[in-house]
Amino acid sequence: MNTRIFSILMVWVLLASAVGFAETHIVGGEEADFQTIQAAIDAAEEGDVIQVNAGVYREGLMVTKNQIDIVGAGSEQTIIEHTDTVVSYLFSARSSLEGFTINYIGLEDRPAIMVDASSPQLSHNVITGATLAGIEIQSGASPRLESNLIHNNLGSGVLVYLNARVTLVDNTIRENGLGLVSHPGVEIRGAGEGELEGNNIWFNGGSGVFLHEAALGKITSNSIIGNNLHGVAVENRSVAELSFNTILWHIEAGVRLKSSREVTLNGNLIAHNLLGTVGNDEAELPTQTNNIYLANRRDTFNVGFSSQDALMTNRVFSSPNSRSLVQGLSQVGDLVTQLKIEITQALYQSFIENLQNIELIVAELYDEANLSEASSARYNIVIRLDENSLAADQARSNL
């Protein structure tokens, strides 16, 4: 044998023996390797995949290993439910969980998912039923949550604290915190950090996003609508950057600043709240550019900071699109009222379609002002809301 080829083969054999081959473990069904997910986790080595067949798995999972990928057959078909925290990550790096419904069915105060000092990726899951937060993230953890539905948890949809950091992309976080004590859709506190992009944060019991206790938030291109307190609240020495968000129909302020530090707002649509942006005497004055403020009810009495950034609002009123935008916002408000009573598929679809129409109008307004970054962000919101719609096709053609 050629000496060079032999040497390469020997190196490959040594590496294979040292590192090992990634394996796929099958869970559920007659010919599966395991009948419980936890047994597969216990047997798995770094780099392994656990493939879970459709079914209902009544067990709690503890993941303490690195790079273990757990893949379900889809959230409608693969359900994990438990009377204690359903999934816990502890000192686990680069693992993932995809394609499950995670349903807490106990009576004690528990989150559905706990992430502690770990960095998993959670995607395409439904997370529901918790008596505390849907997902609790703490102690320096840094997970990424993408394209999950987080709903009907009695605490916050997502809670981040103790120096943890979360990345939230394209999630729908709705109807959380509606128990006897109201909670926000996303709560970041205790020097926690959050990067939120492209999420739908709707109809939660408290604010849509609540930053406090020296939290840091970068909040970009989110749809924050119909929450029962503020759209975004920034308090207690927290710092926030809000860009290209849609913040509509809140009982109190669109953006509430209380003893906050550096807050910047750029290219946001802030409409039909009690107040647009408001702060107490201890809040630093926000830096504002290119925001659109419309029909925030008490702003007509010069309350709030909307007059600090009136240029885009004035352009809206002088645009031929103004009437369509005002009518569209009112229609969304009617649907928000109905959806807070009962979510039906027909109402929900109508809500999405009306939101897309509003975003298309706002994108055109930013186009007219030659603000291409702002208009592109709006077109992308349209696509994320329903990528298969005619409105999404129109948005793609304009990008």
Q: Convert the pLDDT of each residue in 34-78 to its tens digit.
A: 999 999 999 999 999 999 999 999 999 999 999 999 999 999 999
End of a domain among 119, 138, 154?
154
Average pLDDT, stretch 73-87? 98
The answer to whether position 316 is within a domain reads no
Query: How much of the chain exceeds pLDDT 90, in percent?
Result: 87
pLDDT tens for residues 164-212? 999 999 999 999 999 989 999 999 999 999 999 999 999 999 999 999 9
Res. 302 pLDDT band, cuts 50 70 90: low
317-334: burial string, b at 16+ Cβ within 10 Å, e else: eebebeeebbebbebbbe
The pLDDT of residue 258 is above 50: yes
Average pLDDT, stretch 363-371? 95
Give the dihedral sign, CA 341/344/346/350: positive
The helix (H) or strand (E) run that includes residue 288 is: strand 287-289
The answer to whether position 280 is within a domain reads no
Q: Which of 236, 244, 243, 238 is CA-nearest to residue 217? A: 238
Which spans in the chain are helix H? Answer: 3-19, 37-43, 311-318, 322-341, 345-368, 372-385, 390-398
The answer to whether position 122 is within a domain reads yes
End of a domain among 154, 180, 212?
154
| Phi (first) and psi of residue 137, to 5 degrees | -125, 120
pLDDT tens for residues 309-320? 888 988 898 899
The pLDDT of residue 14 is above 70: no
Q: Can you state the angle between helices 345-368 and 390-398, rounded to 10 degrees?
A: 20
- What pLDDT is stored for residue 307 in this prediction? 78
The answer to whether position 356 is within a domain reads yes
The answer to whether position 147 is within a domain reads yes
End of a domain among 126, 154, 182?
154
**For residue 312, what are its two tokens?**
């885009």
- Domain total in the chain: 2
Q: Which of 34, 103, 105, 116 is CA-nearest to residue 70? A: 34
Average pLDDT, stretch 123-151? 98
The pLDDT of residue 11 is above 80: no
The answer to whether position 267 is within a domain reads no
- What pLDDT is stored for residue 325 in this prediction? 96
- What pLDDT is stored for residue 300 in this prediction? 75
The pLDDT of residue 20 is above 80: no
Going by C-beta distance under 8 Å and a sequence separation of 6 or more, which residues neighbour residue 342? none
The answer to whether position 190 is within a domain reads no
Query: How much of the chain exceeds pLDDT 70, in percent?
Result: 95
| Average pLDDT value over all residues in the chain | 94
Res. 3 pLDDT band, cuts 50 70 90: low
The pLDDT of residue 9 is above 90: no
Full domain range(s) for residue 352: 322-398
The pLDDT of residue 1 is above 80: no
- What pLDDT is stored for residue 2 in this prediction? 53
The answer to whether position 338 is within a domain reads yes
Q: What is the CATH number for 380?
A: 1.25.40
- What pLDDT is stored for residue 317 in this prediction? 86
Res. 306 pLDDT band, cuts 50 70 90: confident
The number of CA neighbours under 13 Å toward the Cβ of 201 is 38
| Amino acid sitting at position 20 | G
| Amino acid sitting at position 278 | V
